[in-house]
Structure 1
Amino acid sequence: MRRNIGTGSPWEGVVGYSRAVRVGDTVHVAGTTAVRDGQVVAPGDAYRQARVALEIIVAALAECGASPGDVVRTRLYVTDIRDWEAVGRAHGEVFADVRPASTMVQVGALVDPGLLVEIEAEAVVGSGVTPP
């Protein structure tokens, strides 16, 4: 059975996607950025943008019955690879003991020029590690 989760992002309806989709025990969380109420949060601050994106991801996981401890894979897209340490620190604060398979790559741009980071996640409900 499929369950789609939306968060009201301004792009969900235009592009035709869901923030998260749960099928069986697997949850896929779409690329998530630091946008709240239609506004980019913390322009110029890759660490803070990563933290906000991760907060949105954690909330989407919870709505799907999953937790950060269930995350098995993340993908991190940055507009400047020199931000790897700040973005990695934010990721590590959420997933330190979970240690999902993860990839970070530099991309040419994201949907808004103020965005520096976009993060995807995949989880398997019940597979989890209890994060600290």
Structure 2
Amino acid sequence: MPSTRRLISTGSPFEKTMGYSRAVVQGDWCFVSGVTGYNYETMELPDDVAGQAANCFATIESVLEQAGFALADIVRVQYTLVDRSLLDALKPELEKALGAIRPAATMVIAGLIEPEMKIEIEVTAYRDPS
């Protein structure tokens, strides 16, 4: 039987204008698009990378819950950080969110769409069907 595909949205205006879903659930997998540090209820963006990362993980956790997954199901994460000098301020948030989970990870230093964005986090989660 083919697995069903389900699209998850946070209601962010970027999803429609940029043509993507916040997450796609395919079978036992959940692919969460890159999440920046906005609080999507208020559309506010903290100035600091730690605050932005905390918002990223809150959004990711909420999206995973909507999809029937948990943070503990994350198997892969990619971080895009705009400046290497932000890493020390970021580390406590990464440890708090994923320190016990320890998924496979990649960190890229690159620019993001808006200059005030300091981090974007993308995850893949797998739910064991057994």
TM-score by length of 2: 0.90
Are the equivalent residues in 2 in contact too, given 1:5–1:63 (CA < 8 A)? yes
Name the aligned partner's letter for residue 43 of structure 2. Q
Find the counterpart in structure 2 of residue 117 from structure 1: 119
- The offset of 1:37, in angstroms, is 4.2
Aligned residues: 125
Are the equivalent residues in 2 in contact too, given 1:47–1:86 (CA < 8 A)? yes
1:45-124 matches, within 5 Å, as: 45-107=48-110, 109-124=111-126
User: Deviations along 1:55-74, whole A, 9 cap, x unmatched?
Assistant: 10010000110001000010
Are the equivalent residues in 2 in contact too, given 1:40–1:115 (CA < 8 A)? no
Query: Quick check: 87-96 or 47-56, which moved more?
Result: 87-96
Name the aligned partner's letter for residue 21 of structure 2. S
CA distance in 1, matches of 2:21, 2:100: 28
Find the counterpart in structure 2 of residue 130 from structure 1: none
CA distance in 2, matches of 1:34, 1:113: 12
- The offset of 1:40, in angstroms, is 4.0
User: Deviations along 1:2-22, whole A, 9 cap, x unmatched?
Assistant: 000011112100111000100
TM-score by length of 1: 0.89
Q: CA RMSD in A?
A: 1.4
Say which SS state the counterpart of residue 25 (structure 2) adopts.
Answer: strand
CA distance in 1, matches of 2:42, 2:24: 22
CA distance in 1, matches of 2:56, 2:71: 13
- The offset of 1:87, in angstroms, is 2.1
Identity %: 34
Find the counterpart in structure 2 of residue 41 from structure 1: 45
